Amino acid sequence: MTLDEMKAAARKAAFARRKAAHAADPGTGAGILSEVLAGHRGVPLSAYMPIRTEIDPLPAMAEASAYGPVGVPVIQAAGQPLRFSRWEPDCQMVEGPFGAQVPATQDYFDPEIVIVPLVAFSRAGGRLGYGGGFYDRTLELLRAKRPTLAIGFAYAAQEAQDLPLEPTDQPLDMIVTEAGVITPA
């Protein structure tokens, strides 16, 4: 089995687990994420506008926006790193690439904390995304400039024992789930 086939199989299994977890979501994940972010008040951060069955960071984003800049990713083009545009609760949003909402007025900045959506994660900090490499390219670029904290936000059911990873995959520094916080060893 090739690496691409292994990734496709891992994504398929993880999507099924995420769908079931989303259906049973107790809504506690954003509260745990807010607790983590409380230790970083005022630090520029980015999260994401949830799509499909992704765990919802919006309540934590709204709380964090009272203390400092909060952004959301904006896809520039295939093969390019993401840029992050300032978001505030109730700001005007428009549909961006892949159906994710982006602010109607672009105000770009570099976050120091990136809350990353994912398909699957490992306790070691591995992350399997959608396959476009956007977050890997972006985290590599941001980390070349200064320390950047990558926090995976997911349902506990998205954990996988073995992920097919590549050398270009950027590790997560922390994973926050509705069941608690995981810090890779």
pLDDT tens profile 91-107: 999 998 777 899 999 99
User: In whole numbers, what is the pLDDT of the chain averaged over residues?
Assistant: 94
Mean pLDDT of 146-167: 94
Q: Tell me the C-alpha distance between 55 and 96, whole Å.
A: 19
- % residues pLDDT > 90 (the chain): 83
The per-residue pLDDT for range 135-147, each reduced to its tens digit, is: 999 999 999 999 9
State the pLDDT at residue 31. Answer: 94
Span of 26-30, 46-50, 55-59, 67-71 with lowest mean pLDDT = 26-30
Assign residue 181 a region: left if phi > 0, alpha if psi is -120 to 50, beta otherwise? Answer: beta
Domains defined along the chain, listed by start: 3-182 (3.40.50.10420)
State the pLDDT at residue 103. Answer: 95
Query: What DSSP state is assigned to residue 159?
Result: B
Whether residue 128 is predicted with pLDDT greater than 90 in this model: the reply is: yes
φ and ψ at residue 139, rounded to 5 degrees: -65, -40
CA 15 to chain centre: 15
Global confidence as pTM: 0.94
Mean pLDDT of 2-9: 91
